[in-house]
Amino acid sequence: MLVEIPNVLTADELAEVKRLIEAAELVDGRVTAGELAARAKHNLQLPQDAPEARQAGEIILKALGRNALFNSAALPFRVLPPLFNRYDAGMRFETHVDGAVRAVPGAGIRMRADVSSTLFLSDPTDYDGGELVVEHGYGTSAIKLAAGSMIVYPAGSLHKVTQITRGARWCAFFWTQSMLKDEGLRTLLYDLDMAIIEVRQQLGADTRGTLALTGVYHNLLRRAAEL
From start to end of the chain, where are the E strands?
A: 3-5, 27-28, 41-42, 44-45, 76-79, 83-87, 92-96, 101-104, 109-112, 115-120, 127-128, 132-136, 139-143, 150-154, 159-161, 166-167, 169-178
Overall average pLDDT of the 4-28 stretch: 97
pLDDT tens figures, 109-140: 999 999 999 999 999 999 999 999 999 988 99
pLDDT computed for residue 36 by the predictor: 59
Task: For residue 158, name the pLDDT band (cuts at 50, 70, 90).
Answer: very high
pLDDT computed for residue 131 by the predictor: 98
Mean pLDDT of the chain: 95
pTM of the entire predicted model: 0.94
Task: For residue 37, name the pLDDT band (cuts at 50, 70, 90).
Answer: low
Do residues 181 and 157 lie in contact, with contact meaning Cβ atoms separated by under 8 Å? no
Q: Topology of domain 3-178, per CATH? A: Jelly Rolls (2.60.120)
Task: To the nearest 10°, report the CA torsion of 68, 73, 78, 81.
Answer: -80
Overall average pLDDT of the 78-97 stretch: 96
**Architecture of the 183-224 domain:** Irregular (4.10)
For residue 151, how many other CB atoms are within 10 A of its CB? 21
pLDDT computed for residue 33 by the predictor: 61
DSSP H or E segment with residue 61: helix 51-65
Query: b/e for 116-125, b at 16 or more Cβ within 10 A?
Result: bbbbbbbebe
Report helix, strand or coil for 23: coil
The amino acid present at 3, given as its one-letter code, is V
Closest CA to 157 of 127, 187, 192: 187
For residue 172, how many other CB atoms are within 10 A of its CB? 25
Q: Is 35 a residue whose pLDDT tops 80? A: no
For residue 184, how many other CB atoms are within 10 A of its CB? 9
**Domain spans, the chain:** 3-178, 183-224
Q: Which residues touch 151 (CB under 8 Å, ≥6 apart)?
A: 2, 3, 4, 5, 117, 118, 132, 134, 143, 145
According to the 3-state scheme, what is the secondary structure of 154-179?
ECCCCEEECCCCEECEEEEEEEEEEC
Q: Running DSSP on this structure, what letter comes out for residue 31?
A: G
Is 183-224 the same fold as 3-178? Answer: no
pLDDT computed for residue 29 by the predictor: 82
Overall average pLDDT of the 193-214 stretch: 96
